[in-house]
């Protein structure tokens, strides 16, 4: 059978990202692949006996078990499907294996174990440092020597489309020395990408940088919602806490690292050169265009190639003390800002900390998008979207 991919679709045969979906007809969440405007139901396809591994992994409500089979299985499964989609001879695919993507409900694709957020965009770290600390010494001394990060909260990671409730928090009003407990007035988004860990690593053993990408299953879009006023009061000296843990949104489709291979690029020159355990050769970055829409208006465009620290460097550093990682762990990049004023990945930067524009209002919808390549080689991430709901007064509960 033949599947037509609409022009401009993120989900070409070159992409084939994995996700978890359900349909009105079959409400149990199961594994699928996005293809054009359809979803290939992998659980249904597997009943034809076309795969030679334990296909019960496709009938589970997360991709963790499938990912745990390892790249030797997941890469081969994807390329088998790629072949069947493009050559109908000997293809087990039938129209019953495909569902209309727009009638499906998309779920969180993995059960996230641990979640880490890095701070790997030099432009973002510089912009924030200028505003919050010292304009002349925006970057702290460690920044160019290691990928700075913090351990985040996995419980509040939600799939695209989930509304985001404006959080209450402790805030220090301007000019006051006494904090108040109230809804945030400085609700923001952060334009990020995240990668999903595809292989457990042993405790006590760092992942060498040359092997780091073998531990990356794939990537998705990530919006690290942030309450800047809560964040500003609480973050000293241990870093982000409740200003970010109320919600983070991910796109529903995980783009396998393999799909991004043709789009590798060299990252920015690293000066000073990193220590040996963080040193890479060759292109370890990816050229993926990013955009932010606020209420359907594009307000920023950026690119993952602007990141200073690569995913391999982030993972090598994360495990450099022997900290292990597990399948389903999520590592986010940090806000990806570019060099120009229309390439900033947060309202904090786009509005100069609220001086040239507003932070998010109730009812606002923020949508992040990403893609690379074009035509029938386009590899897109779809979108991650979220609408802001008004705060709930805790006194009324």
CA neighbor of 185 nearest in space, from 203, 197, 167 = 167
C-beta separation of 49 from 32 below 8 A: no
Residue 255 contacts residue 247 (beta carbons within 8 Å): no
The residues, ordered by sequence, that sit 6+ positions from 11 with a Cβ below 8 Å of its Cβ are 5, 17, 34, 35, 36, 253, 380, 382
188 is a site residue for Mn ion (CB under 5 A): no
Q: Of the ranges 1-9, 51-59, 92-100, 187-195, which one interacts with Mn ion (CB under 5 A)? A: 187-195
> Cβ 335 to Mn ion, closest distance in Å?
5
Measured from the CB atom, is 10 or 224 closer to Mn ion? Answer: 224
User: Least distance in Å: CB of 241 to Mn ion?
Assistant: 13
Which residue, 191 or 212, is less far from Mn ion as judged by CB?
Answer: 191
Residues in CB range of 40: below 8 A, 6 or more apart: 32, 33, 34, 81, 85, 93, 97, 98
Both tokens of residue 45? 């396809």
Displacement of CA 212 from its chain's centroid (Å):
18
Closest CB 396 distance from Mn ion, rounded Å = 31
Q: How many residues bind Mn ion (CB under 5 A)?
A: 3
The window from 2-10, 62-70, 102-110, 185-193 that contacts Mn ion (CB under 5 A) reads 185-193
**3-state SS assignment for residue 81:** helix
What is the nearest approach in angstroms of Mn ion to the Cβ of residue 224?
3
Q: Which of 97, 107, 124, 318 is catalytic?
A: 124
In the bound complex, what is the minimum distance in angstroms from residue 337's beta carbon to Mn ion? 11
Interface pick for Mn ion out of 10, 41, 123, 190 (rule CB under 5 A): 190
Is 103 in a helix, a strand, or coil?
A: helix
Determine contact, residues 372/219, Cβ cutoff 8 Å. Answer: no
- What is the spatial distance between Cα 308 and Cα 66, in angstroms, rounded to a whole number? 32
Quick one: 53 or 233, whose CB is closer to Mn ion?
A: 233
Q: Is 102 a catalytic residue?
A: no
For Mn ion, give the closer residue by CB, 114 or 224: 224
Q: How far is the CB of 137 from Mn ion (least distance, A)?
A: 22
**256-285: contacts with Mn ion (CB under 5 A):** none
> Is 190 or 383 the residue whose CB approaches Mn ion more closely?
190
Q: Give the whole-angstrom CA distance, residue 42 versus residue 143.
A: 43
CB 221 within 8 A of CB 383: yes
Stretch that binds Mn ion, among 140-148, 184-192, 294-302, 359-367 (CB under 5 A): 184-192
- Binding to Mn ion, residues 224-243 (CB under 5 A): 224
The DSSP 8-state label assigned to residue 101 in this structure reads G
**Is 248 or 313 the residue whose CB approaches Mn ion more closely?**
248
Peptide bond into 363 cis (omega under 30): no
Span near Mn ion by CB under 5 A; candidates 157-165, 183-191, 258-266, 383-391: 183-191
Residues of this chain, 109-148, that bind Mn ion according to CB under 5 A: 117
**Long-range contact pairs involving 281-285 (C-beta distance under 8 Å, separation at least 24):** 284/213, 284/310, 284/311, 284/312, 284/313, 285/310
Contacts with Mn ion, residue ranges (CB under 5 A) = 117, 190, 224
Catalytic residue list: 124
């Amino acid at each position: 059978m033949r599947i037509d991919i609409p022009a401009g679709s993120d989900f070409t045969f070159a992409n084939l990202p994995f996700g978890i979906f359900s349909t009105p007809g079959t409400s149990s969440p199961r594994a699928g692949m996005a293809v054009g405007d359809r979803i290939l139901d992998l659980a249904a396809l597997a009943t034809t006996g076309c795969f030679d591994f334990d296909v019960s992994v496709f009938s589970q409500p997360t991709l963790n078990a499938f990912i745990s089979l390892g790249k030797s299985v997941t890469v081969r499964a994807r390329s088998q499907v790629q072949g069947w989609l493009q050559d109908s001879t000997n293809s087990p695919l039938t129209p019953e294996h495909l569902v209309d993507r727009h009638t499906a409900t998309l779920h969180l694709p993995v059960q996230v174990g641990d979640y880490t957020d890095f701070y790997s965009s030099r432009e973002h770290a510089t912009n924030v440092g200028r505003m919050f600390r010292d304009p002349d010494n925006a970057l702290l001394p460690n920044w160019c020597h290691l990928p700075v990060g913090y351990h985040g909260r996995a419980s509040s990671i939600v799939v695209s489309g989930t509304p985001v409730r404006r959080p209450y928090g402790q805030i220090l009003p301007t000019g006051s020395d006494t904090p108040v407990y109230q809804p945030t007035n400085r609700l923001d988004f952060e334009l990020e990408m995240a990668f999903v860990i595809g292989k457990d690593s042993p405790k006590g053993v760092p992942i060498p940088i040359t092997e780091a990408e073998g531990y990356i299953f794939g990537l998705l879009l990530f919006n690290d919602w942030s309450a800047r006023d809560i964040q500003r009061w609480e973050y000293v000296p241990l870093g982000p806490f409740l200003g970010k843990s109320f919600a983070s949104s991910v796109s529903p489709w995980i783009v396998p690292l393999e799909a991004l291979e043709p789009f590798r690029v060299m990252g920015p020159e690293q000066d000073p050169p990193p220590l040996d355990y963080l040193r890479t050769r060759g292109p370890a970055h990816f050229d993926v265009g990013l955009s932010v829409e606020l209420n359907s208006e594009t307000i920023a465009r950026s690119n993952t190639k602007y990141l200073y620290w690569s995913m391999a460097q982030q993972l090598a550093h994360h495990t450099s003390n022997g900290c292990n990682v597990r399948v389903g762990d999520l590592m986010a990049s940090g806000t990806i800002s570019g060099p120009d004023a229309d390439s900033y990945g947060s309202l904090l930067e786009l509005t100069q900390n609220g001086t040239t524009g507003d932070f998010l209002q109730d009812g606002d919808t923020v949508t992040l998008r990403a893609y690379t390549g074009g035509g029938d080689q386009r590899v897109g991430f779809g979108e991650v979207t979220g609408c802001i709901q008004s705060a709930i007064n805790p006194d009324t509960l």
